């Protein structure tokens, strides 16, 4: 510490027991790992679905086999990958915009009481405004285009990110802030070494909940006003009461989001909370 540098490993925080830590302890003591548990959960859901379809014996509840066959046909036809790719592009764009806008505004509001007083009424209105109203008004004011679609999703999602990051900014350790002032750290170094490690768990939590909500809102936006995407396909099959097509597109996209959650967001959240477990 003689040269005024702050080592990331030297920042200490409160020790917390997270679900990931509990599962890790379960694995270390010979407990059943998280991957087999998740696999058993998915298999039990498929079994319940299959039994329900057998019991109903109705086109209104097709079995997993019929849905997989329909999805495979759509894949070979080319319609499924095209619609999935278009929807994923909208989800990524809206998710990134909502995370950026909500994080910046939430951090500033959490650090400034006056700025919070200015922004908070707008956030409360946005949080309580129905998503359908936001989508319809955005389409009317901006037009039936992808800019309006992404903007509508961003407006609907950014307030929840704002609330999460604002609470994280309020919870920053004042002792570490004092340490930064004593060593006269620049704004960039203070953000990197002092504030970012404490805000990362909040960012990860906002991202995990945000992704699940974002893609659902995107489907609503596509259903109401876009000529392509998964939402458009769902609307098309709804008009013909094709439950198999609805389940095929819905399940495929849900699986993609589950993979993104498991492969990207959950490991990021564990790393974001790693400094707390080591402290």
Domain ranges of the chain: 83-278
DSSP 247: H
What is the pLDDT averaged over residues 194-216? 86
What is the rounded distance in angstroms from the CA atom of residue 266 to the CA atom of residue 92? 17
- For residues 137 and 77, the answer to whether their CB atoms sit within 8 Å is no
**How high is the pLDDT of residue 15?**
42
The separation between the first and the last C-alpha atoms of the chain, rounded to the nearest angstrom, is: 19
Q: Is the pTM of this model over 0.75?
A: yes
Which tens digit of pLDDT belongs to each residue from 6-34? 444 443 444 444 444 444 444 444 445 67
- Per DSSP, the chain holds a count of helices (H) and strands (E) of 14, 0
Tokens 């006269």 belong to 184
DSSP 10: G
CATH fold group of domain 83-278: MetI-like fold (1.10.3720)
pLDDT at 275 over 70: no
Q: Are 91 and 218 in contact (CB under 8 A)?
A: yes
Give the pLDDT score at 66: 92
Whether the pLDDT of residue 98 is over 80: the answer is: yes
Would you say 235 and 223 are in contact if contact means Cβ atoms under 8 Å apart?
A: yes
- Residue 107: what pLDDT? 92
């Amino acid at each position: 510490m003689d040269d005024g540098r702050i080592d990331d490993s030297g920042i200490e925080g409160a020790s917390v027991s997270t679900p990931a830590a509990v599962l890790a302890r379960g694995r270390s003591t010979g407990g059943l790992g998280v991957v087999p548990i998740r696999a058993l959960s998915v298999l039990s859901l498929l079994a319940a679905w299959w039994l329900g379809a057998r019991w109903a014996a109705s086109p209104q509840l097709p079995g997993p086999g019929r849905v997989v066959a329909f999805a495979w046909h759509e894949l070979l036809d080319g319609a499924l990958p095209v619609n999935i790719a278009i929807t994923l592009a909208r989800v990524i764009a809206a998710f990134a915009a909502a995370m950026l806008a909500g994080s910046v505004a939430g951090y500033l509001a959490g650090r400034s009481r006056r700025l919070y007083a200015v922004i908070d009424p707008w956030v409360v209105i946005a949080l309580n405004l129905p998503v359908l109203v936001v989508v319809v008004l955005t389409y009317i004011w901006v037009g039936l285009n992808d800019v309006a679609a992404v903007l509508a999703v961003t407006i609907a999602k950014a307030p929840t990110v704002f609330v999460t990051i604002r609470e994280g900014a309020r919870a920053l350790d004042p002792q570490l802030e004092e340490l930064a002032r004593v060593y006269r750290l620049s704004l960039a170094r203070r953000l990197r070494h002092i504030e970012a490690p404490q805000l990362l768990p909040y960012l990860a939590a906002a991202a995990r909940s945000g992704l699940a909500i974002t893609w659902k809102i995107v489907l609503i936006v596509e259903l109401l006003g876009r000529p392509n995407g998964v939402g458009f396909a769902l609307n098309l099959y709804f008009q013909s009461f094709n439950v198999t097509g609805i389940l095929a597109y819905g399940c495929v996209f849900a699986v993609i989001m589950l993979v993104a959650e498991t492969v990207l967001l959950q490991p990021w959240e564990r790393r974001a909370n790693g400094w707390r477990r080591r402290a």
